[in-house]
Amino acid sequence: MDRASAPSSRSRGPDAADAAVFADTGTSQAFIDVTKHRGLASLAGFPFEVRTSDSTREQARRLAERCAKAYSYLGDVLAFRPRCALVVLSRADWSERASNPAYVMPYCSGGNLFLHGEPSDLTAWLEEVAGSAPVAATRELDQIYGTGADRLAPFADMLVVHELAHAFHDGVPFVFPRSWLMELFADMALYAFVTAEEPDRRLHFETLPRVALEHGLLKPVARDLRYFEAFYPYIEPLTYVWYQFRFTMMAKGLVDAAGPNVLRRLWDAFALTDEQLAGVLGDRVQPAAGQWLASWDEVPR
């Protein structure tokens, strides 16, 4: 969700090269920073690696099962399957391994999806927000989420699909021309997946964002898209959540109106493989520029 509690995988790649495993260069340029896996338990049986703290195996398996379904769904829609790994961490392991010690936001970096194996502070903050909502909002939230402790945990668990969507564009690799568009893409992927594969959970996914926006439950320090672009990802956490809720409702509007293929159209508008990039460089910059990628290894080092 927050790609940035950390430096991006791209900015970190070269420095980590000696420790990273370059994966399947024939089909994907993504690498996985395996230094983050050391000392963690491994769960087998998934189309990606799953690493977990000892104490969070059960949650890791639940997240991996949803992620495997989403991997297959998004792989079919986008005709691409990236290399990636799930890294599910306890609170104690998170502070040692994640780029930001705060146990708040899941994120994707270096081919790894960093996920919470225990209820995160983000979930606790959202519980607080929901718990102090006005009567009309409370009625709507209670109807969907009940009134028990950790009632928003199932909502937070769905965010794994948002992180997986980031692994897809990181894996080509390509970047969207605006950060907000990248985040909208991830929320579209999540909403399209829930609608297609877990329709009975759709209300669990969309009710909190809708009610929070309609009843003004969050108090963002800014609401301007240009603010988001200028300060992303260093945005106050609940303001960041407000923006994500806006993107979620935009994603819902788009997918409901145009169908899940709108996700593929957004992808096709910006995804640029190395071959396509070489074509653009050769056609639009300078003919020799089209050879830069191919001739990289021929130049004396």
The residues binding Zn ion (CB under 5 A) are: 1, 183, 186
Strand partners, 78: none
Of the pair 8, 138, the CB lying nearest Zn ion is at 8
Q: Are the C-beta atoms of residues 172 and 29 closer than 8 Å to each other?
A: yes
Q: What share of the chain is helix, strand, coil (3-state, %, to 5)?
A: 60, 10, 35
Instruction: Please report, for residues 2, 25, 147, the alpha-carbon distance to residue 159 in angstroms, rounded to integers and kept in the order given.
Output: 11, 28, 21
Instruction: Please report, for residues 53, 132, 241, 254, 282, the alpha-carbon distance to residue 189 in angstroms, rounded to integers and kept in the order given.
Output: 27, 30, 17, 11, 32
Of the pair 49, 183, the CB lying nearest Zn ion is at 183
CB of residue 39 to Zn ion, shortest distance in Å: 27
CB of residue 186 to Zn ion, shortest distance in Å: 5
d(CA 204, CA 77) in angstroms, rounded, equals: 23
CB of residue 112 to Zn ion, shortest distance in Å: 14
Of the pair 209, 290, the CB lying nearest Zn ion is at 209
What sign has the CA pseudo-torsion 179, 176, 27, 164?
positive
Of the pair 235, 271, the CB lying nearest Zn ion is at 235
CB of residue 198 to Zn ion, shortest distance in Å: 19
CB of residue 168 to Zn ion, shortest distance in Å: 12
The count of other CB atoms within 10 Å of the CB of residue 280 is: 12
Q: In the structure encoding, which two tokens stand for residue 151, read together?
A: 């009632």
d(CA 190, CA 200) in angstroms, rounded, equals: 14
Of the pair 70, 137, the CB lying nearest Zn ion is at 70
CB of residue 271 to Zn ion, shortest distance in Å: 17
Of the pair 104, 186, the CB lying nearest Zn ion is at 186
Which residues, at least 6 apart from 70, have a Cβ–Cβ distance to it below 8 Å?
Answer: 160, 161, 164, 189, 193, 197
d(CA 108, CA 84) in angstroms, rounded, equals: 9
What's the N-to-C CA distance of the chain in angstroms?
39
CB of residue 183 to Zn ion, shortest distance in Å: 5
Of the pair 151, 244, the CB lying nearest Zn ion is at 244
Of the pair 1, 60, the CB lying nearest Zn ion is at 1
Helical pair 121-131 and 135-145, crossing angle rounded to 10 deg = 130
CB of residue 166 to Zn ion, shortest distance in Å: 6
